[in-house]
Structure 1
């Protein structure tokens, strides 16, 4: 049956109010008009790997969409795509094959072209991933150019719940927008994410990419509650402080304008004295999500 006829049926079903129809995500079509604002180059990136440890596991598939976007957050056009399998030094674990469908036979003799990747990423102003703390750490170990880039996380730096979504997983968000995709393959996840970033948010109406970039550009401050009394751990946890096993103390990441608020909280509620030597590290998109700023390593 012709695609137009199927779309007509889908529209009729949705029009009854008794059905929801999910449509497969299509590659971004772009805009024919020339941009009337400053534009920049971005990368959407996704990896499939042999595991979760960036120091021991390896990338077995890398997907990238290179795109042009405006200062407003509007996505104008796709500049290129790259998807490549890579043979790791050890067999792919069975659980990874079950999740991704990628087998040892698929990756045999396959190799990611480092020089091509360097050229592809050279002019990118930002790299976006749906779990940037994972993808960045996996990539920058292998390809140093990614350690030099600004990164943004579409999962955690867009207020999806405030915008009316119950979950932050890519498949959940797509379903809320009426789409589905073949998940757990790198380039398919990239196309799905680009479709989301080019869309307006459900509640505010802002472009998702605009919201993401605004958040990513704002520096944050990591506050260390070093030496906090052990009896205050529940108080700190309730305020969303996290424990750093490496430094053996609690910490929290906040917007810069909340530094004085947290200083007052720690002074009054935790240490019960004025804190004069509070350590606070400033973090920007250049370092955020990188292994070098991971407090748990």
Structure 2
């Protein structure tokens, strides 16, 4: 799917020849530094839409108490069939939190308290870029989306897609889902753990083709994001059923903004009836019904979006 980069500089051409010889030997695997703009295809006049790849670094994992310290949003122009023609200028901002970042966070991200001193997020710039876009993509949107929804309500109104969860990477032959592992499969590496670098790496991943289905990653992602899914809460499940639910992939929810305090899972529309039947046959008491919430790309991965922040739970 990605355009093949052909070096014109003699030194780079020589290095590419060496890399090709090493790869063809079968004894070496060569990783190239990712340059996403070299992977964009030439614009052939096909109408494009604008997407944004987003990544945040935070003071920790707790949505209630932790804060964003770095935000990056990188726009890209794409076609309906999943081709990327252009990558725009990154919007990159730092934000000084209410408490100093810990040494652990600095070690993970490379961001120091000195870097953040006096910095704040510019919501006008952030909202402007959202207004120019039709979809927001993140690698683990379940983490990023709730954090950015705290700073701007515009994020709650946008369709979202997730490169971590919206593609069945295992079915495509991948062993891991980390961004670095996925790109390594395509023989690329990048400098991870800074927000802009992660965004550019994510867009680079979108330019690739999936090995099993032979579909463009972006096309597959958008197709998955457009499908309706359901979040199913196993309310009334007895305590002794917890291991059965965990084995099936259910997770425990305690956030009432997200849904009832219970075990829950998310399934596609085609698997909805089967999952309800399984719950009623093997988990729930007689005549008990699970609570369900219909999700589209506008609600998925949110804790504050329509029908979620209000605490309303839809049932099918």
Counterpart selection for 1:139 from 148, 171, 195: 148
Residue in 2 that maps onto 1:219: 228
Counterpart selection for 2:294 from 272, 282, 289: 282
The one-character-per-residue Cα deviations of 1:74-98 (angstroms, maximum 9, x if unpaired) are: 1121233212222223222111111
Give distance in 2, aligned partners of 1:66 and 1:127. Answer: 9
CA-CA distance at 1:272 after TM superposition = 6.1
Q: How many residues align?
A: 293
Residue in 2 that maps onto 1:255: 268
Q: Does 1:34 align with 2:47?
A: no
CA-CA distance at 1:222 after TM superposition = 1.6
Asked whether the 8 Å contact 1:171–1:181 carries over to 2, the reply is: yes
Give distance in 1, aligned partners of 2:291 and 2:154. Answer: 30
CA-CA distance at 1:281 after TM superposition = 1.1
Cα distance change on mapping 1:230 and 1:107 into 2, 3 Å: closer
CA-CA distance at 1:118 after TM superposition = 1.1
Residue in 2 that maps onto 1:97: 106
Q: Does 1:50 align with 2:59?
A: yes
| 1:142 counterpart SS class | coil
Residue in 2 that maps onto 1:239: 248
CA-CA distance at 1:268 after TM superposition = 2.2
Cα distance change on mapping 1:51 and 1:236 into 2, 3 Å: closer
Note the residue ranges of structure 1 that are not aligned, 5 or more in a row.
none
Give distance in 2, aligned partners of 1:105 and 1:267. Answer: 55
Q: Does 1:266 align with 2:276?
A: no
Give distance in 1, aligned partners of 2:250 and 2:74. Answer: 35
Residue in 1 that maps onto 2:33: 24
Asked whether the 8 Å contact 2:236–2:285 carries over to 1, the reply is: no
Asked whether the 8 Å contact 1:225–1:278 carries over to 2, the reply is: yes
The 5-angstrom pairing of residues 142-181 of structure 1 reads 142-181=151-190
Give distance in 2, aligned partners of 1:91 and 1:232. Answer: 42
Give distance in 1, aligned partners of 2:24 and 2:273. Answer: 52
CA-CA distance at 1:61 after TM superposition = 1.4
Cα distance change on mapping 1:195 and 1:53 into 2, 3 Å: same
Cα distance change on mapping 1:261 and 1:55 into 2, 3 Å: same
- Quick check: 265-274 or 208-217, which moved more? 265-274
Cα distance change on mapping 1:245 and 1:109 into 2, 3 Å: closer
TM-score by length of 2: 0.86
TM-score by length of 1: 0.92
The one-character-per-residue Cα deviations of 1:147-201 (angstroms, maximum 9, x if unpaired) are: 2111111011111111111100011111111011111011111111111111101
CA-CA distance at 1:217 after TM superposition = 0.9
